[in-house]
Amino acid sequence: MVEQTTDASAVLAEELRQIVNQAEALLNAIGSDGDTALDGLRARVNESIDAARSRLADIEEQANRTSQRMASAAESWMQENPWAAVAIAAGVGLVIGTILARRPPPTAQEGA
């Protein structure tokens, strides 16, 4: 559940980063025309870009803190419950081995 939240935050951060970069590129492409209405719009867009960058930094910081907390919690749980961790790892290995063993071997046509 927490991994999904962290992954969603990373995806959101990347999308926000792309939007900010595109807005900045558009703003640079417009150039300075000397029009006062355009200058006002440019100033508002620059403020929005700055706010978006700030929010992006906050999202990334929160995602980093969450992942560090989760790693720390997992490490302490594994130290407190080593045999349970071994059993879980063995179970995951068994499931993966079973899945891989059930796959048919690749045919000569698939390799070409």
- pLDDT tens, 8-37? 777 777 777 788 777 777 777 776 666 677
Alpha-carbon dihedral angle through residues 77, 1, 94, 90, given to the nearest 10 degrees: 0
Instruction: Please indicate, yes or no, whether the overall pTM of this predicted structure exceeds 0.75.
Output: no
pLDDT band at 72 (very low <50, low <70, confident <90, very high): very high
pLDDT, average across residues 64-93: 91
Domain definitions of the chain by residue range: 2-104
DSSP alpha helices (H): ranges in 1-112?
2-30, 36-80, 82-102, 108-111
